[in-house]
Structure formats: C-alpha cells, structure tokens
Structure 1
Amino acid sequence: MRIAVPNKGRLHQPTIDLLERAGLHLENGADRKLYAETVDPDVTVLFARAADIPEYIADGAADVGITGLDQVRESASDRIESLLDLEFGRCRLVLAAPEDGEIATSADLEGATVATEFPTITREYFADAGVSAEVIEVTGATELTPYVDMADAIVDITSTGTTLKVNRLAIVDEVLSSSVQLFAREDVVGDAKVGEIATALSSVLAADGKRYLMMNVPQDQLEAVREVIPGLGGPTIMDIANGEGEAVAVHAVVDERDVFETITRVKERGASGILVTEIERLVE
C-alpha cells in the first residue's frame, strides 16, 4: 500500500506529523526525496508535489494520497474519492478583482479575461454561472495580472485575504472551500489496509481537544458525579481493588475546555484522586 504525501510546502510537515501521531512512523525519515518505509511493512510513503498527487492516485502509482481538495478538483479525475477530511490546510479559492473597479459579481465578467493557476475549476465555475469568460492559466504572481493588462480578474487561493488586500483586490465570490483530505482510488476504497489507514488518521482527529479524566467517587455520590460529567456516551464505572465497595473508579473522556469546570463540580460531590491525561488517539 502506497501513500502519496506532499514533499514540501505548507502541507508537508503537518502531514508527516499526522502520520506519526497515527502510528505510521517513517523508518528512514521524511527527508527522502522519493519515498520512505513505515513501521508497517505493508505501507510505503511516496513524496510528490501536492498538485501531482491526484495523478499518482488515479494512475496507480499510489493507492491513497493526502492533498488539498482544490488539487483533486483541478485534476478533474473521476477515479478518486475522498475518505476523510483531515481538518488542516483550510483555504478558499476566490474570484477577485481590483477594489476600485466596476466588477461586483461574476456576471460582470461576461466577455472578460480571468487569470488563474486553477483553469479547470475556474472554467467549471463560470460554466455553472452561465458566464462566458476567457480563462488564462498563469503559474505565479496571479494577483499582479489585473495591473499589467493581462486579466480583468483572478481566481486564486487565499487563507486570510491579506495578500489580496495588499494588492488592492476585493473578493467578488467564493469559488471553492478547500482543506487537506485523505483520498483513495475508487477501486481500493474497500480495501482492508485503506480502512486501517483511515481509522488510524481519524482516531488522531477524534482525540484532538479531548482529555481523559480519572477519579475515585464514593458509591453514594456516584449518580451526582455522573450527572456533571460531560463525557462521550457517559463515564465508565469500575470497582477499585481493595476498595471494599465504598468507592468506585470513574473514567471519562471530556472536551479540554470543560476540564476546569468538571473538576470543580466533581470535587464538590466528593470525588478524589482526580487525574487528567492527554489522549493520543480515540477510536469512536
């Protein structure tokens, strides 16, 4: 099983960190230009440009891949399915035009020229809007094209909008909301190993922002404590060895933001020996 991941850029390190947290430790490091083995002898990591990963998957060079939704949509491949939103690398693909111009909607670009690094997505956007615009592909400095008479507007990636503002461009419309996701070729979606990888990654995401709470609770206060613990599906109750039935151990998973208040409330109800630990992975 081969996983294609970004070889550089802002998506590289978060992807490597996620794989490591999921237990897919890279055996020969993430600095290899082409590939790395993992602790799972059946899983190899391939390093590729984020924009090339959809093609790696579609052509069979990789079985699954981690890249942005924008890159998959731009590839226009109908053989790739999204398995899991990995919840990082969020950005927007937007239509923007000079802020002091007369372009207020996509309809104002009828017969106009639009520059972008995402021609497939852009043409699809204008086709859906019923607007006939000329789309030209550029490979960099897209935001400059309206000021050098190359285009009337642009479609470009933005995270905060700062670059657009610096270049006096105003957002006209959102073309696509994107994030980094786990993708697989359609013929391997049901493969057991693909399922294992998806489960491992989702367990890391599920654990984010969660804490494991453990405490001892007097038997006669158990219901009172249970009522104030905002756990996932309720706390787990266990007997304490040599506890002679006077107290029980209560374990629960709670949101990190609820820990402070929860500790206060359970202490008021007689809980003791309270321990809070981080959770690396949580399989729901």
Structure 2
Amino acid sequence: MRIAVPNKGRLHDPTIDLLERAGLHLENGAARKLYADTVDPEVTILFARAADIPEYIADGAADIGITGLDQMREANVESVDELLDLAFGRCRLVLAAPEDGDIDTVDALEGKTVATEFPNVTRAFFAEHGLSPTIVEVTGATELTPHVEMADAIVDITSTGTTLKMNRLAIIEEVLASSVRLFAHEDVREEPKVQEIKTALSSVLAADGKRYLMMNVPRDRLEDVRDVIPGMGGPTIMDIANGGGEKVAVHAVVDERDVFETITEVKTAGASDILVTEIERLVE
C-alpha cells in the first residue's frame, strides 16, 4: 500500500506528524528521499509535490494520498475519492480585485481578464455563474498582476487575507474553501488496509482537544458528579478493588476547554484523586 504525501512546504510537517501520531512511524525516511518504509511492512510512504499527488493516485502510482482539496480540484482527475477531511492546512481560494477599482461583483468580470495559479478551478467557478472571462495562468506573484495591467482581477489562495490587503486587493467572493484531505483510488477505497489507515487517522483527529478524566467518587455522591461531567455519552463507572464498596472510579472523556471548570465542579460534588491525561487516539 503506497501513500503519497507532500514532500515539502507547509503541508509536509503536519502530514508526517499526523502519520506518526496514527502509529505509521517512518523507519528510513529522510530529507531528499523519494520514499520511506513504515513500521507496517505493507505501507510505504511516497514523497511528491502536493500538486502532483492527485495524478499519482489517479494513475495508480499511489493507492492513497494526502493533499489539499484545492490541488485535487485543480488536477480535475477521475477515479479518485475523498475519504477524510484531515482538518489542517485550511485556506480559501478567493476572487479579488483592486480595492480602488470598479470591479466589485462576479458579474463585472465578464469580458475581463483573471490571473490565477488555479485555472481549472477558476474556469469552473465562472462557468457556474454563466461567465467566461479570459483566464491567465501564472506561477507566482498573482497579487501583482492587476497592478501591472496583466489582469483585472485574481483568484488566489488566502488564509487571513493580510497579503491581499497589503497589495490593496479586496475580496469579492469565495471560490473554494480548502483543507488537507485523505484521498484514495476508487478501486481500493474499500480495501481493509485503506480502511485501517483511515480509522487510524480519524482516531487521532477525534482525540484532538479531548482529555481523559479519572476520579474516585463516594457512591452516595455519584449522581451529583455525573450531573456535572460533560462527557461523551456519559462517564464510565467501575468498582474500586478493596474499596469496600463505598467509592467507585469514574472515567470520562471531556473537551479540553471544559477541563478547568469540570475539575472544580466534580471536586465540589465530592470527587477526589482526580487525574487528567491526554488522549493519543480515540476510536469512536
């Protein structure tokens, strides 16, 4: 099973970190290598440009791949299915034009010129609006093109909009909301190993922002403690060995943002010996 991942750039480190946290530890990977083995003898990592990963999957060079939705839509390949939103690398493709110009709607671009590094996504966007402006493909410095009269507007990636503002460009409309996703060739998406990898990755995502609480609670105060625990479906309650039946152990998964308040509330309700730990993976 071959997994194609970004070989560099802002998506590389978070992708490798996610794989490591999911248990797919790289054994012989290094900078400048084209591939790496993992602790699973059935899984190999291939390093490729994020923009090339859709083609790797479509052509069968990789069975599954991790890249941005924007790259997948731009590649416009067939036979590739999305399996999971990995919830990082979030960005937007937006339509923008000079803030002091006369273009402030999508319809105003009919007969105009739009510069972008994403010509396929841009054409599809304007086709949905029944428009067909001239699309000029560029490979960088897209924000500059309206100021040197190469284009009337641009379609470009933004995370915060700061770069657009610095270049005196105003957002007209969002073209695409993107994040990093897990993709697979349609022929293998249901194979056990693919589903195993999907489950491993989703278990890491499910554990993000969660904490595991353990505490001892007098049996006669159990309902009071249960009422203040914002757990997932309710806490787990177990007898304590040699506890004489007077106390029980209560375990619960709670959101990290609720931990501070929850500890105070359960302690007030009668809990003691409270322990909070991180959760590496959570299979729901």
Could you tell me which residue of structure 2 aligns to residue 77 of structure 1?
77
Shift in Å, 1:263: 1.0
Which aligned pairs between 1:37-116 and structure 2 lie closer than 5 A?
A: 37-116=37-116
Shift in Å, 1:173: 0.9
Describe the superposition over 1:126-171 as per-residue Cα deviations: whole angstroms up to 9, x where unpaired: 1111112011111111111112221111111011111111111111
Q: Distance in 1 between the 2:258 and 2:112 partners?
A: 53
Shift in Å, 1:245: 0.7
Q: Secondary structure at the match of 1:188?
A: coil
Q: Secondary structure at the match of 2:121?
A: helix
**Number of residue pairs matched?**
284
Could you tell me which residue of structure 2 aligns to residue 23 of structure 1?
23
Contact 2:29 2:35 (C-alpha < 8 Å) held by counterparts: no
Could you tell me which residue of structure 1 aligns to residue 141 of structure 2?
141
Aligned residue type for 1:207:
A
Q: Indicate the percent of aligned positions where both proteins have the same amino acid.
A: 80
Shift in Å, 1:262: 1.1
Contact 1:16 1:30 (C-alpha < 8 Å) held by counterparts: no
Stretch moving more, 66-75 or 258-267 = 258-267
Q: Distance in 2 between the 1:65 and 1:30 partners?
A: 19
Q: Distance in 2 between the 1:193 and 1:28 partners?
A: 21
Contact 1:96 1:173 (C-alpha < 8 Å) held by counterparts: yes
Which aligned pairs between 1:255-274 and structure 2 lie closer than 5 A?
A: 255-274=255-274
Q: Secondary structure at the match of 1:263?
A: helix
Describe the superposition over 1:60-116 as per-residue Cα deviations: whole angstroms up to 9, x where unpaired: 000110000000000111211111111110000011111110001111111111111
Q: Distance in 1 between the 2:141 and 2:88 partners?
A: 24
Contact 2:97 2:170 (C-alpha < 8 Å) held by counterparts: yes
Aligned residue type for 1:204:
V
Which aligned pairs between 1:172-211 and structure 2 lie closer than 5 A?
A: 172-211=172-211
Describe the superposition over 1:182-238 as per-residue Cα deviations: whole angstroms up to 9, x where unpaired: 011111110111101111011111111110000011111111111111111110011
Aligned residue type for 2:132:
S
**2:12 counterpart of 1:12:** yes
Shift in Å, 1:29: 2.7
**2:228 counterpart of 1:212:** no
Unpaired runs of 5+ residues, structure 1, are none
Describe the superposition over 1:239-272 as per-residue Cα deviations: whole angstroms up to 9, x where unpaired: 1111111111110000111111111111112111
Q: Distance in 2 between the 1:68 and 1:24 partners?
A: 20
Q: Distance in 1 between the 2:31 and 2:23 partners?
A: 18
Aligned residue type for 1:41:
P
Contact 1:232 1:253 (C-alpha < 8 Å) held by counterparts: yes
Aligned residue type for 1:143:
E
Q: Distance in 2 between the 1:132 and 1:263 partners?
A: 59
Could you tell me which residue of structure 2 aligns to residue 3 of structure 1?
3
Calculate the aligned-residue CA RMSD, in Å. Answer: 0.8
Shift in Å, 1:30: 4.1
| Cα separation, partners in 2 of 1:108 and 1:44, compared to 1, 3 Å | same
- Give TM-score, length-normalised by structure 2: 0.98
Q: Distance in 2 between the 1:229 and 1:122 partners?
A: 48
Q: Distance in 2 between the 1:135 and 1:58 partners?
A: 26
Q: Distance in 1 between the 2:246 and 2:124 partners?
A: 68
Q: Distance in 1 between the 2:220 and 2:119 partners?
A: 67
Could you tell me which residue of structure 1 aligns to residue 240 of structure 2?
240
Q: Secondary structure at the match of 1:29?
A: coil
Contact 2:91 2:158 (C-alpha < 8 Å) held by counterparts: yes
**2:282 counterpart of 1:282:** yes
Could you tell me which residue of structure 2 aligns to residue 130 of structure 1?
130
**Off by >4 Å, runs of 4+ in structure 1:** none
Shift in Å, 1:55: 0.2
Q: Secondary structure at the match of 1:94?
A: strand
Aligned residue type for 2:191:
D
Could you tell me which residue of structure 2 aligns to residue 158 of structure 1?
158
Contact 2:123 2:132 (C-alpha < 8 Å) held by counterparts: no
Aligned residue type for 2:72:
V
Aligned residue type for 1:232:
M
